[in-house]
Homo-oligomer: A and B are copies of this chain.
Amino acid sequence: MSKTLKRPRLRDLGLGVGILPVGRWNAITDVPGVKVGQVTLIRGKGRLRPGKGPVRTGVTAVIPAPGNLFTDKLAAAVHVLNGYGKSVGLMQVAETGRLETPILLTGTLNVWRVADALVDWVLARNPRVYSVNPVVMECSPHWLDDAAGRHVGRKEVFAALARARSGPVEEGNVGAGTGLSSFGFKSGMGTSSRKLPRRGGGWTVGALVQANAGAVQYLRVGGFPFGRELVRAGKALPSRTCLTAGEARRGAANVEAPDAGSLICVLGTDAPLSARQLRRLAARAGLGLGRAGLNSGHASGDIVVAFSSAERFKHEEPRPVISRREVPDALLGDLFAGALESAEEAYLNAVLRAATLDGANGAKREALPAELLRKYLEDRRL
């Protein structure tokens, strides 16, 4: 893990995206009350023995606000960039505009076990409840992981939830990001935030990204087309998605289908936004993810879930009419910008922070060559 900790975030490279200032930790936890907890499973080496390993997966828990989320729900919304994915719980969030559990991220084939465990966790805190809507999303670590072994269960879920805390968020090969790849390189979890000027309400928007997607030719780091440079310099094989005729003839493609990747983005804010406004906020994250290089292939599960911690909605509301705060629509521009910028940067951090990792059957994912990136930037005085 020490290797991970040394890898740079985008801003350690002197880069940034957008112009809004970042929050204290430049993390989703800059949104007051948001906590993140992760359990990383890295076990075994060598040949894949389904059900045994090697294991390269985990679970990441986002606790979006303090207290009992089931009795005091949050406004939330979903934006599906491409719905090839196994997410659990999004239909009810879309209909009701409410989030009533923590959000869990994990490996694809673990989602239903993780959802079942999350229900255990909620029922333990809310006896006599017979309907609860767990929200779980996923990317597939199968390139390195014994995916069919489904190694994440109740124990890991409860541990991730117990470990959740505010402050800096670990990035790269941790939690649900453990076995992932993007742009042909190792990737994992990444985060970023934006703190709006007081004039704009002083709100914070934060993004947490589980990144497993992207064709290398499209990678732009801090606004610079570094992926294209890597291919030109022979440091990366082009992704199959966007081969030229010549490349196709030479078979010079990355062996994996990059369009089979996925990307999950969790957006949080303390601005009082309605579910309708949060859905629009989530859509802007898509523009930011596109800027970093997301191409959203056919088999990519690219999903944004956004929540606001500003208002709580009671499960059993005794009043016939409630009053709630809302940012006027005409002032949403800054918040939209915050979502866009923090999503782009979180995606880049998810790539930059992930160290080289090997896995099942000797497969190996190299880290993005950060030194080459530094040199590229220096050479061009960027």
Q: Which residues of A contact B (CB under 8 A)?
A: 18-21, 80-92, 94-98, 108-109, 112-113, 115-116, 119, 123, 129-134, 140, 142, 147-148, 150, 197-201, 215, 217-218, 220, 222-225, 228, 238, 240-245, 248, 257, 259-260, 272, 274-276, 280, 283-284, 286-291, 294-299, 301, 313-317, 319-334, 336-337, 340-341, 379-382
Contacts and interface: CB of A to CB of B under 8 A. Distances in A.
A53 to B, nearest CB: 15
A323 to B, nearest CB: 5
Nearest to A117: B112
Copies of this chain, count: 4
A20 B127 CA distance: 35
A48 to B, nearest CB: 10
Nearest to A141: B130
| Residue of A108, A218, A228 with highest tally of chain B CB at under 10 A | A218
Contacts of A199: 243, 245, 248
7 contacts: A82-B95, A108-B130, A220-B220, A224-B224, A287-B295, A295-B337, A322-B325
Given A20-B244, A313-B329, A320-B331, 10 more contacts: A199-B245, A199-B248, A201-B321, A224-B224, A276-B276, A287-B287, A287-B289, A287-B290, A296-B336, A298-B333
Given A112-B116, A198-B245, A248-B197, A123 B140 contact: no
B286 A286 contact: yes
A336 to B, nearest CB: 6
A23 to B, nearest CB: 13
Please report whether the interface of chain A is mostly helix, strand, loop or mixed according to DSSP: mixed
Contact of A215 (B82, B95, B123, B337): B337
B96 A329 contact: yes
A228 B217 contact: no
B337 A82 contact: no
Looking at A123, A245, A324, the one whose CB has the most chain B CB atoms below 10 A away is A245
A381 B224 CA distance: 13
A257 B333 contact: yes
Contacts of A130: 108-109, 140, 142, 147-148
A296 B295 CA distance: 18
Contact of A223 (B129, B224, B240): B224
A377 to B, nearest CB: 10
